[in-house]
Amino acid sequence: MRKYKEEYCRSFQATMKIGNYFLGYRTPRTIVGPGSVLRLPEDIKKYNVHHVLFVSDEKIMELGLPNGLLKALEEAGIKYTIFSNIQPNPTDDNVEEGYRLFHENMCDGIIAFGGGSPMDCAKGIAAKNAHPNKKVSQLQGILKVHKKIVPFWAVPTTAGTGSETTLAAVITEAKTHHKASINDPAIIPICAVLDPELTVGLPPFVTATTGMDALCHAVESYTNWTYCTDLEKEYSKKAVKLIYENLYTAYQDGSNLEARQRMQEAAFYAGRSFTRGCVGYVHAIGHTLGGLYNIPHGLAMSVILPHVLRKYGPKVYKRLAELADVCGIEGKTKAEKSIRFIEWIEEINEKMGLPKGFKEIKVEDIPQMIKWADAEANPLYPVPEIWYEEDFRELIEELKKAA
């Protein structure tokens, strides 16, 4: 049985590798620099868009972060409808409500403004608008949209999810708490605004967890390897180096615009890398924690990443050693460099006050977590090794004990 599962997964991935060359991956255009968000209305007008659905969340709206952009939209004569009733882990109900607003107000474009939650919800709304007669669950999976969406701009206010450049939108089913992704190049934004001024007010905890989320994207994509072209490999390396050099600075000094800008670039590169290269078991397990216990996605990634890399062992030594080289982490052998790279992840987590595990995990939930994680990862994710039920259980139990 074990042999058949591995053969099936690797055969599926070999086919996907070929199919990827026909999927039309693209990198969104970028508007970059302090204050660059105010140039967005000019770009929107090029697409003859007159009324946008402005997707954000309540906290961001309360902080007044979008006020400058909203004023600029008004001055440019572009109407907007605000939708901010979004859960931290956006649900299918959120998507349906956002689509209703989009339709009722006759919107012809979408702006996603915020972190991963507004981004994913906005993508879900765009996908739903392309297929109004389908449920959100029918759009989850691979290439279920496959239709042109309305013009869609992304304005990240964190530096982590990379959702401004990915083909994925993670949506939770409200009734079951099950997380699943809509995966389709059709939902990649046409343009991303990387304005570091929008991230200056981020609390240190959010800076830490979103930054580690970006690291997780880059590392998982690079260690997966199978689907990546040289472009994705290079993007992963750039992202890891930028995070190694700038994350702790941004965490300590949130007003450092250079570090903030570099972290936004890192998140963008990492997002573009994993949108083709895929993530792996860190995300598959992390999504179950978000769905069951509402644990923030970035926090889950931060904590799980070193545990999974250690479990992979020698299978990732070569690739982690290459990432260690990019960062200037020294070692006499590939194994030594790899272990020191993992130790750096653990050390920076500790310096930023992040936990080593999760006490929220309930023993009775573990079978469900295993089922969901296995279904998400296999056969799609080209992970360094194929895991079975006992592997998932061992990792999840380790996360509970480490808390």
- Report which of 161, 169, 202 is spatially closest to residue 185, judged by C-alpha positions: 169
Task: Compute the distance between CA of residue 310 and CA of residue 292 in angstroms, rounded to an integer.
Answer: 25
What are the structure tokens assigned to 380, written together? Answer: 């799609």
> What is the per-residue pLDDT for 234?
97
Residues in CB range of 319: below 8 A, 6 or more apart? 222, 223, 225
Least confident of 17-26, 66-75, 228-237, 242-251: 17-26
> Quick one: three-class SS letters along 217-257?
HHHHHHHHCCCCCHHHHHHHHHHHHHHHHHHHHHHHCCCCH
Domains and CATH numbers, the chain: 2-20+202-401 (1.20.1090.10), 33-199 (3.40.50.1970)
What are the structure tokens assigned to 133, written together? Answer: 């007669």
| Residue 126's pLDDT band (cuts 50, 70, 90) | very high
- Report which of 27, 23, 21, 16 is spatially closest to residue 270, judged by C-alpha positions: 27
The H or E element spanning position 67 is helix 67-75
Q: Which amino acid is at 237?
A: K
Q: Residue 68's CB: how many other CB atoms inside 10 A?
A: 15
> What is the per-residue pLDDT for 398?
98
Q: What is the CA radius of gyration of the chain?
A: 20
Distance spanning both ends of the chain, measured CA to CA: 34
The 10s digit of each residue's pLDDT in 71-102 is 999 999 999 999 999 988 899 999 999 999 99
Establish how many alpha carbons lie within 13 A of residue 140's alpha carbon, considering only the half-sphere containing its beta carbon. Answer: 19
The 10s digit of each residue's pLDDT in 144-190 is 998 999 999 999 999 998 999 999 999 999 998 888 889 999 999 99
Residue 180 gets which letter from DSSP? E
Residue 22: pLDDT above 90? no
The 10s digit of each residue's pLDDT in 362-393 is 999 999 999 999 999 999 999 999 999 999 99
Q: Is 143 left (phi over 0), alpha (psi -120 to 50) or beta?
A: left
Task: Compute the distance between CA of residue 303 and CA of residue 78 in angstroms, rounded to an integer.
Answer: 42
The pLDDT mean for the chain works out to 95
